[in-house]
Amino acid sequence: MTTTSAMTTSPLPTPGGTPTAGATATPVVRLRGVTKEYAGGVRALDGVDLTIGEGELLGIVGPSGSGKSTLLHIVGTLDRPSAGTVEIAGYDIASLSDRRLSALRARRIGFVFQAFHLVPGVGALENVAEGLLYSGLPRARRREMAAEALARVGLGDRMKHRPHELSGGQRQRVAIARAVVGEPALLLADEPTGALDSASGEAVMTLLHELNAEGATIAVITHDTEIAGRLPRQVRIRDGRVVADTSLASGEVGVTGAPGAPDASGDGKGAA
Amino acid sequence: MSRTRRLTAARLGPRDVLHVGSAGLRSRPVRVVLSALGIAIGIATMIAVVGISASSQAQLLRQLDALGTNMLVAKPGEGMFSGQEVKLPKDAVGMVGRIAGVEKAAGTGDLTSSVRRSEKIPEAETGGIAVKAATEGLLEVLRGGLASGTWLNAATGRYPSVVLGHVAAERLGITEPGRQVWIDDRYFTVIGVLDPLPLAPEIERSALVGWAGAERLLRFDGHPTTVYERSTDASVEDVQQLLAPTIDPQNPQNVSVGDPSSALKAKAATEGAFSTLLLGLGGIALLVGGVGVANTMIISVLERRHEIGLRRSLGATRGQIRIQFVTESLMLSGLGGLAGVGLGGAATGVYASTGGLPWVVPLWAVGGGFAATLAIGTVAGLYPAVRASRLSPTLALATA
Ligand SMILES: Nc1ncnc2c1ncn2[C@@H]1O[C@H](COP(=O)(O)OP(=O)(O)O)[C@@H](O)[C@H]1O
Ligand SMILES: [Mg+2]
């Protein structure tokens, strides 16, 4: 169902905090030459180029330790790259202060975690409403939207249930409701089915597919090849490099024509 | 489609700040109680120390108000040569009564007699009770009252009847009139027992016999040894100047004049000066309580790593994380402070009601105690809050 694939021509550079106006299809995410080195010399990401257009549903797959979570954190502006540029919803994040990045997350990005990270002892509705706490919306409106989001994920009858009164699959759906309640430009999910049995995982993936069909842009980390196989686009990562991207012509991996991009084609591990 | 809006972080409303700040407390009530306890004890101690001394002071001031500060007492002074016995003139009471501004004067005369429960008790065992002759006006000048019985009057004063001060009655084991006591060589009938007299403790320890009766039955020479007078409030100072020259125009230095209420005033002042030692102990408890709160906050931040990471991912700024934990710390110490004010106030109340004192907890002490808690809460919460806000969101979210 994806109508837009990765853009390969680069639009105007973006000044600090002000996204480029007027672009018809500003990609939701554009990474160029993103490298992340941790203290101790671990290179978790090594020259990653990745563009995600509006309305895409993609899977990020790769073995454990390949850098998937690191990539998701950088795309989610929870971390900054050691090198390279990151643009989210048209904002160049290098030019944004921590405060503005927080605002960007509050309005444009939703996260779903493997461990759910729900607030214990608090009902489902309040957990979802927490997703709008930093948005500046008034409290009554937040609760209203939270109730709608809960109904949307099929938990309209579980508003007052606290996390320990819900099954794993239900908890993850609460977490998804919390992530999408503010209608973010981008939904990021790190192994959302990792802690679930296959039936619950199935339900969660179906929900993500539905949300995408309604227009949400979603990136899902998974190492379940079966789940990944059903996603419209797959980005395969190994040792911090993108080794395959089904949205690109096969064989042309990681190099998207950006000038000065590092030579990433030399590893010879082309996609199938 | 143009989005030229700059990104600005939304502010949390006061209600939302309270909401996030109390989230941690609501989920751990036992810990809240335990860590607020130190502060509560500290504040309670300080409030009780200040409250109890304020209550005692209020009691004395109230008493002073009732007793008045317009009574003066004249006694024979030290003689010019040691050992020389100075006597006030027989008519001293009448002379004082005629001074302008004096409303009423009365006198007592010391007797050498002793009073005992019965003739069988040896004379040496007087129990420290003096026998005095008293003029009829004495009770009124002292603003004293009768616990039971009647006061001396012209009729009873002539006969072997006696009124006991409340200490004297206690020592003699007499609670009601009608009993007899042995004075010198005969029985006197107790016709009344007095209430306590804070302005004249010497009368409390006395057995009082009428002036005429004392002269007739106890060989009283008629010279008063103490003259009491009440004047209008405005003329107290003038009367004080005039007392000695009026009583003894030739040798005014032989008369010493005193103001019994000044002792009570001084006592009230010292009661008001609360024990700094106890206050210091309260301060130490408060400090320990503050350390307890800081400790709880550090643990809270460690435990809620995931929550901090989650909130950062939901768009919380560092400032908002800081505010959350400072608010939590403030609530924790504020709860302790409230409990402390309540406990301290209650302790003061119990002390006051058992001692029959008015219940006074000075507002400045409550305000000061509460301000101290808030200051402690801020200081205790600041370091943990800054640590929480500096936490890397990715590390906070990592499930290790
Ligand atoms: N905070 C960190 N400090 C140091 N090394 C890290 C940190 N986070 C991840 N790494 C390392 O970076 C690499 C990629 O990790 P990660 O992105 O979590 O991989 P994945 O999610 O694909 O399993 C791993 O070798 C991991 O050990
Ligand atoms: Mg991972």
Tell me if chain A has a CB within 8 Å of the CB of B2.
yes
N- to C-terminal Cα separation, chain A = 22
Chain A: closest CA distance from residue B341 (Å):
31
Q: Which helix (H) or strand (E) holds A148?
A: helix A139-152
Listed by number, the residues of chain B in 374-393 with a beta carbon closer than 8 Å to a beta carbon of chain A are: 392-393
- The number of the ligand 1 atom at minimal distance from the alpha carbon of B395 is 1
Query: Is B83 in CB contact (< 8 Å) with chain A?
Result: no
Q: From the alpha carbon of A40, which atom of ligand 1 is closest?
A: 4
Sign of CA dihedral B122, B128, B130, B131: negative
Mean pLDDT is lowest, of A3-7, B233-237, B266-270, for A3-7
Question: Can you read off the two tokens belonging to residue A134?
Answer: 């930093």
Please check the confidence at residue B383 and state whether its pLDDT lies above 90.
Answer: yes
> So what's the pLDDT on residue A103?
95
What value does the CA radius of gyration of chain B take, rounded to a whole number of Å?
A: 35
**pLDDT at residue B63, as a whole number:** 81
Q: pLDDT band at B15, cuts 50/70/90?
A: very high
CA distances from A160 to A81, A90, A116, A146 (A): 40, 38, 17, 12
Cβ <8 Å between B3 and A100: no
Q: What CATH code is carried by the domain that includes residue A228?
A: 3.40.50.300
Please report which ligand is nearest the Cα atom of A194: 2
Average pLDDT, chain B: 88
pLDDT tier at B128, thresholds 50, 70, 90: confident
Task: Note the pLDDT of residue A158.
Answer: 94
Cβ–ligand 1 contact at A44 (below 6 Å): yes
The pLDDT value recorded for residue B400 is 53
Q: Which of A82-96, B3-17, B283-297, B373-387 has the lowest mean pLDDT?
A: B3-17
pLDDT tens, position by position, A94-119: 999 999 999 999 999 999 999 999 98
Which ligand sits closest to the CA of A36? 1
The total number of structural domains that make up chain A: 1
Which pLDDT does position B154 carry in this prediction? 84
Q: Residue A122's closest CA among B91, B310, B226?
A: B310
Ligand nearest to the CA of A60: 1
Atom in ligand 1 nearest the alpha carbon of residue A64 = 23
Candidate from A182-186, B203-207, B269-273 with smallest mean pLDDT: B269-273
Check if A42 has its Cβ closer than 6 Å to any atom of ligand 1: yes
Ligand 1 binding pocket mutation candidate from A35, A36, A70 (most atoms within 8 A of CB) = A70
Burial annotation B77-106 (CB, 10 A radius, 16+ → b, else e): beeeeeeeebbbeeebbebbbebebbebbb
* Ligand 1 pocket, residue A67 CB under 6 Å: yes
- Report the nearest-CA residue for atom 3 of ligand 1: A38
Nearest CA in chain B to A16: B6
- Collapsed DSSP state (helix, strand, coil) of residue A114: coil
Please indicate whether residue A222, judged by its CB atom, sits closer than 6 Å to ligand 1.
no
Whether B215 has a pLDDT exceeding 80, the answer reads yes
Q: Do residues A59 and A231 touch, judged by C-beta distance below 8 A?
A: yes
Which string of b and e fits A162-200 if b means at least 16 CB within 10 Å?
bbeebeebbbbbbbbbbbbbbebbbbbbbbbbbbbeeeb
d(CA B194, ligand 1 centre) in Å: 92
Q: Is the ipTM of this complex over 0.85?
A: no
Instruction: Tell me if B12 and A134 make a contact (CB, 8 A cut-off).
Output: yes
Domain boundaries, position A147? 2-271
Instruction: Give per-residue pLDDT as tens, B75-109.
Output: 998 655 555 667 889 999 999 999 999 999 999 99
Is there a contact between B10 and A103 if contact means CB atoms under 8 Å apart? Answer: yes
Percentage of chain B lying above the pLDDT 90 cut: 54
Rounded CA separation A214/A207 (Å)? 11
The predicted pLDDT at position B267 comes to 76
CA nearest to A135 within chain B: B10
Which residues, chain by chain, have CB under 5 Å from ion ligand 2? Answer: A 69
For chain A, which ranges sit under pLDDT 50?
A: 1-23, 249-272
CA gap B242, B236 in Å, rounded = 10
Q: pLDDT tens digits for B18-50? A: 999 998 888 888 989 999 999 999 999 999 998
| H or E element, residue B237 | helix B236-247
